[in-house]
């Protein structure tokens, strides 16, 4: 959802002045999937399309890596 764009922007090491707006529009217009912790509701991994219908970004928080979340999202 668009409200997660702020979190995505904070995770992204290449952020720039308007990158949060980029994430917001990509989520709104091209679609996205996220995986959330059942207990806390925290977003732990996400993927979304870019304007070329390709995977725009696929990210998993470092504490949750190597659990197959990225593979699951890539197949979604």
- Statement: residue 64 has pLDDT above 80: yes
| Domains of the chain: residue spans and CATH | 2-75 (3.40.630.30)
What's the pLDDT tens digit per position in 6-22?
Answer: 999 999 899 999 999 99
Q: For residues 76 and 70, what is the distance between their CA atoms, to the nearest angstrom?
A: 10
Burial track 5-33 (b if 16+ CB lie within 10 A, e otherwise) = bebbbebeeeeeeeebebbbebbeeeebe
Tokens matching residue 18: 């308007």
- Statement: residue 71 has pLDDT above 80: yes
């Amino acid at each position: 959802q668009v409200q997660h764009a702020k979190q995505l922007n904070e995770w992204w090491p290449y952020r720039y002045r308007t990158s949060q707006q980029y994430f917001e529009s990509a989520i709104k217009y091209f679609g996205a999937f996220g995986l959330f912790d059942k207990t806390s509701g925290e977003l732990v991994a996400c993927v979304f399309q870019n304007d070329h219908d390709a995977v725009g970004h696929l990210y998993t928080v470092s504490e949750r890596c190597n659990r197959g979340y990225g593979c699951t999202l890539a197949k979604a």
